[in-house]
Structure 1
């Protein structure tokens, strides 16, 4: 790269180097993803964004990966080392429209047809500034769509220090060429699969869009199970249907989380400060496996040990820094006091009583709420030990905890209809 493009990127990199402090996921991409730097590497990004490209470049240079701004020379042919799947404003770029990205894929595949020893590693990369999922009735937030220049400027300005570069496992273009051929239809398929990959990756990182709290309650009230439980409540207690429905809404208010991305960001800074003074480091194993499960659309249920309050704080912190959505956490009702309760609720906690015994309306509302979390794609965390050990030792799991994998509502069940008073103690 030379001339005006080089000057343009240098000028753009000046403010970015001050405003952006991104991290790489995984922390060391080459060894963790098995990238071979002795073989050609090209990068695939979802959107045409110079800020994304330069943020990627900074991480590549920091981890001894090829510079995305330096073109690849293969058999005397110079090709860009990066490709944008979706187009956008064009300023000193090799290509932007979808047709040109397909053409570039085809050019790379065609080189594999003529050179049987060539094997280019195609590495999908997402660059995200902020991770607020947005509201169901509102506009899609920045991580989920392409931004124009002004929007990108403000995203970098406000969220530059809450950004990450997510490297995915590479795709062998040699294998693609050998197994599927090198014609244009394969290049089109590559672009289509890349778009699907990025959509799933964004969902795993930011989670589904958040419903308005009242809309969620209205949907739960409309479910057949809760409607029947409300009728039973009115009949058994000899109260009006409206009063029984108000009781159900009050239970939803008591149980439901009120997830807030802003609270997650604030708590992340506080916890980061705390961990740096309490611990020498946090060792994380098998994170790529969990990321892949989230990417593939699996419902995730985290079941950590519960020896102290640090357990759930550490797990949410680690997941957030591994590019995953912090889970909704089952918390004991004893934690629902001011000011801790509202804070925990905004961090994803939903509250559960120590006993469901004799309260059919409560058990139905709780079951339907939990089922709604799973159906919307949220991950959930609960503690099979039932409560904190308080001794530092692991407790035997409460074996009657179960997630019903066959019912479709994925709700917790209990063999005696929530009759055990100690089962849900957290």
Structure 2
């Protein structure tokens, strides 16, 4: 690097280091992207930008990755460790062609692979996203991936410099490219084209499609054949004017539709970061990369989380935003549409749904058409299949209405594949757990209100750890192909279809979703301690016995994992017990034998909630152990026969 370039970078880095604060996606790129630090790495950036390069450099050094400004030396050849795909934009020029220097760089790298059969350079796509606002559908159309000129970049850094994101992607093996496709100039061009498509999809996955204008959205919905037909049918049946029924339909749209605001999302990010730091000691996220890949591949993503707490709405949207994905449009109960929470939720992406559609054909049609519009426009959606929050900690049987409407949207002939992403959300403390216990004892459910929200705010304290685990996705096209091979014959863009096979297919899908949620369960210090203590006599164990039991659980769940999506804490049993004690839910007494850890009567009732979150993980080992204890001695075939007889009951009850 020339001396003038070093001086320039040092001067430019001074304001950037003071003002810019970017987040790396994924948070641990070496581990999560399976990068090998023993093999050479070259970074590929979409646009020529010294600001982006220095921002990437800071992130790489923080993550233990090679410095992009350090040249790559292979044998007697020295090359830059980065390459730009496009010139970018100048103030008075729109030139963004592939620079000749970049093309030459690709050719040189491929040439090295032709000379050395053992060489395998990793090309790591790296982009810096300074803003993620997709804009409104009424604004002038711009390309998804667009470089900024100097003044635009300066203004963006000044206003959004602390909200930037450095996105690293799966490495491309140049050895594979050379062996599979060759090393000529055409391959160099192909690499550049594929990289630019990759960056465009990445930007769309991070910002999403343009946001709808509510007025235009309502006009489109009213013009749909399904709503137009039901409006005229209702007017004729009730002997009222068409305009009156149309006005009712518009009122329903106003009640239902979200009013998504990216500005609110951006401000909420700071508020929620403070809130989670106030409430929890950390949020553990697992398997987010599989969701990023779905978004980048152009899937219509429907998140289907379990429902533990009102915090679920905020937590999942926050996690997705932090993971470089678009916060979804969320189906929320109309009971949450109270002032001031309702308008805020609506601008955060919530659309409201009544508890029952029964007997209201107009409402059901309007809602179904609104949901189909979200899918058709490419907005990710979130709904809770259980319908309401679990009061026991176990998964509730899924309510199938939203799943059925999702399949009906497919039967309208959607072009993009729809994929359900089951999500396990777990907490070491659920805010409403005391309320759940009272409701199970017969107390009426308290109606959501401003007072209830203020009551929660007054109780803000440290609630331990939170967990968001993304389960194995369910591709609806594939599911239908397996269940109903001729489902394409039922596609009708005009009328919603409900063929005879719909109910059994939806029922099977609902069970599959809930099973995949449980597959992604997260064990933690509290639910493991709850499981051990509630299974012991008098709900008490010595500290040594409790630690030994936690060690057994950890070994069992690690060496014979329940599923590839579940997670097990890696801390030592002693640390897990210390952490559980810090949450002030366990009673500790000391005697001559040492510490005895127990649960009092009230906490024992509440701790069943946390045990029930993960009881399915140990149900089968527990069944086998109980059979062995009961029979004293039994053959392998006899044990298998006993398990086969009883397991279907557990499977149906616990979504195993």
Q: Normalised by the size of structure 1, how large is the TM-score? A: 0.92
Is 1:117 equivalent to 2:118 in the alignment? yes
Task: State the alpha-carbon separation in 1 of the partners of residues 339 and 238 from structure 2.
Answer: 31
Q: Secondary structure at the match of 2:284?
A: coil
The answer as to 2:42 corresponding to 1:42 is yes
Cα contact 2:89–2:147 (8 A) shared by 1: no
User: In the aligned structure 1, how far is the partner of 2:34 from the partner of 2:390?
Assistant: 40
CA distance in 2, matches of 1:195, 1:17: 28
**Per the alignment, do residues 224 and 294 of structure 1 end up closer, same or farther by CA in structure 2, a change over 3 Å counting?**
same
Distance in 2 between residues matched to 1:320 and 1:62, nearest whole Å: 21
Match of 2:526 in 1: none
Comparing 276-285 and 240-249, the one that deviates more: 240-249
Partner of 2:305: 304
1:189 lines up with 2:194 in the alignment: no
1:224-252 alpha-carbon deviations (Å, 9 max, x no partner): 11111121122122222222222221111
Please show how residues 412-423 of structure 1 align to structure 2 within 5 Å.
none
Question: Judging changes above 3 Å, is the alpha-carbon distance between structure 1 residues 141 and 97 closer, same or farther for their aligned structure 2 residues?
Answer: closer
- How far residue 392 of structure 1 moved from its aligned partner, in angstroms, is 4.0
Establish whether residue 215 from structure 1 lines up as the match of residue 220 from structure 2: no
**Whole-angstrom distance in 2 between the partners of 1:296 and 1:328:** 20
Give the C-alpha shift of residue 39 in structure 1.
Answer: 1.3
Bigger drift between 211-220 and 69-78 goes to 69-78
Q: Deviations over 1:72-99 (max 9, x none)?
A: 1223222221111121368xxxxx8504
Q: Give yes or no for the alignment of 1:408 onto 2:413.
A: yes
Distance 1:31 1:274 in 2: 28
Q: Is the 8 A contact 1:134 1:140 kept in 2?
A: no
CA separation in 1, counterparts of 2:341 and 2:144? 30
Q: Deviations 1:90-112 (Å, cap 9, x if unpaired)?
A: 8xxxxx85042223212211111
Partner of residue 323, structure 2: 322
- Offset from partner CA, 1:56-84 (integer Å, 9 cap, x none): 00001111111111221223222221111
CA distance in 1, matches of 2:43, 2:21: 20
**Which residue in the other structure is 1:242 paired with?**
243
| Equivalent-residue separation in structure 2 for 1:154 and 1:320 (angstroms) | 23
Are 2:85 and 2:99, in contact at CA under 8 Å, matched by a contact in 1? no
Give the corresponding residue for 2:285. 284
What secondary structure, in the 3-state scheme, does the structure 1 residue paired with 2:385 have? Answer: coil
Confirm or deny: 8 A CA contact 1:87 1:98 kept in the other structure: yes
Q: Aligned partners of 1:244, 1:364: CA distance in 2, in Å? A: 13
Counterpart in the other structure of 2:363: 362
Q: What is the CA–CA distance in structure 1 between the aligned matches of 2:142 and 2:71, rounded to whole Å?
A: 33
Alignment correspondent of 1:204: 205
Does the residue aligned with 1:98 lie in a helix, a strand or coil? Answer: coil
Moved more, 140-149 or 365-374: 140-149
Shift of residue 310 of structure 1? 1.3
Inter-CA distance 66–140: structure 2 relative to 1 (3 Å threshold)? farther
Q: Indicate how the Cα distance of structure 1 residues 15 and 243 shifts in structure 2: closer, same or farther if over 3 A, else same.
A: same
SS at match of 2:309: coil
- The aligned counterpart of 1:353 is 354
313-322 vs 102-111, greater mean Cα deviation: 102-111
Give me the CA root mean square deviation: 2.1
Partner of residue 8, structure 1: 8
Q: SS state of the match for residue 350, structure 1? A: strand
Structure 1 equivalent of residue 25 of structure 2: 25
Q: When the two structures are aligned, how many residues end up with a matched partner?
A: 411
> Which residue pairs with 2:253 in the alignment?
252
| Whole-Å separation in 2 of the counterparts to 1:97 and 1:245 | 51
Match of 1:333 in 2: 334
Q: CA deviation at 1:400?
A: 5.0
Deviates more, 1:282-291 or 1:264-273: 264-273
- Mapping for residues 383-398 of structure 1, pairs under 5 Å: 383-398=384-399
Q: Distance in 2 between matches of 1:279 and 1:367?
A: 37
SS of residue matched to 1:122: strand
Instruction: Name the structure 2 match of 1:342.
Output: 343
Shift of 1:285: 0.7
DSSP-derived class of the 1:282 partner: strand
Q: Which runs of 5+ in 2 are unaligned?
A: 91-95, 419-495, 505-656
**1:14 CA drift (Å):** 0.8
Post-superposition CA distance 1:23-64 (Å, at most 9, x none): 111111112111111211111111122211111000011111
8 Å CA contact retained: 1:204, 1:291: yes
**TM-fit CA distance, 1:142:** 10
What's the offset of the Cα at 1:391? 4.5
1:87 aligns with 87
Q: Which has the larger radius of gyration?
A: 2
Output the CA distance in 1 between the equivalents of 2:141 and 2:251. 30
Aligned-residue offset at 1:136: 1.9
Higher relative contact order (CA 8 A, sep 6+): 1
Provide structure 1 residue ranges, at least 5 long, that are not aligned to the other structure.
91-95, 417-426
Between 79-88 and 375-384, the greater mean CA deviation after superposition: 79-88
> What is the CA–CA distance in structure 2 between the aligned matches of 1:19 and 1:140, rounded to whole Å?
31
SS of aligned partner of 2:52: helix
